[in-house]
Amino acid sequence: VAGGESAGEVAFTKTGSDDFMVRGFNASRQAGDTRIKNGTLDLGNTAQEIQSLIVEGAGEVQGGDLFVSQLYNAGEISAAALSGNNDDNKFINSGSIEITTSANIDLKGGDDTFLTNANVSGSGIIDGGEGTDTIKFGTLGAASFKATKIKNFEFAEQHLGEWDYDGDYKSAGIETMTLKGGKFLLLDSERAKFATFVMEGGEIHATLESKDSAPLIADVFDYKSGSLVIAAADQV
């Protein structure tokens, strides 16, 4: 257990670079923050309920079935399962999350928000569960997110970065997609379909080359601000 320190009964902070191994079920249940500043929190095959899990850039969480109400991840999480609860969960991922089994990331009940980059991997999907849920996309570089990887999110937003969108987001459950910033990319052979698309900023980059229909299809398109860049094939 080298590298760990406990701050009373309501918070836990891991500071050292050594591994901190937990082998008891719900041994890390805390009313306050569970913060991993450095090194690895190794949960083995246990299940842990954590109110607020904060993983900083030098921190890592491995193993375990995690049930979390609030997640702020700038480091690495590699878990067998990651779930929310029936509270209004807020997950923010600027690091990486890997689900090592076929389990979904399941936010369950409540009005949940998941702000993420594209560094989420696993054979499952991200499931907003019950309630009114929002998935937000933000990254410092280029990324992609397919419609087949999400369900039960009523709202989606892009805030920054360059994102490639492929598939039928309307069928995936997205009622409104809002572009707030960054570049919205429609440059490959795939198309993106939405129920309502709201453009409040940012740029849509699309190409008409080798396409026989629009690269962006929406039942309702509400333009407020932003720009559209279309690359056409060379004419002879």
pLDDT digits (tens, 9 = 90+) for 33-90: 899 999 999 999 999 999 999 999 999 999 999 999 999 999 999 999 999 999 999 9
Q: What percent of the chain has pLDDT over 70?
A: 90
pTM attached to this predicted model: 0.88
Confidence at residue 215, expressed as pLDDT on a 0 to 100 scale: 86
pLDDT at 14 over 50: yes
Lowest mean pLDDT among 14-23, 82-91, 113-122: 14-23
pLDDT band at 233; cut points 50, 70, 90: low
Say how far apart CA 103 and CA 154 lie, in whole Å: 21
For residue 95, the model assigns a pLDDT of: 96
The pLDDT value recorded for residue 109 is 94
- The predicted pLDDT at position 23 comes to 82
pLDDT beyond 60 at 4: no
Confidence tier at 32 by pLDDT (50, 70, 90): confident
Q: How confident is the model at residue 152 (pLDDT cuts 50, 70, 90)?
A: very high
Instruction: Give the model's pLDDT for residue 235.
Output: 44
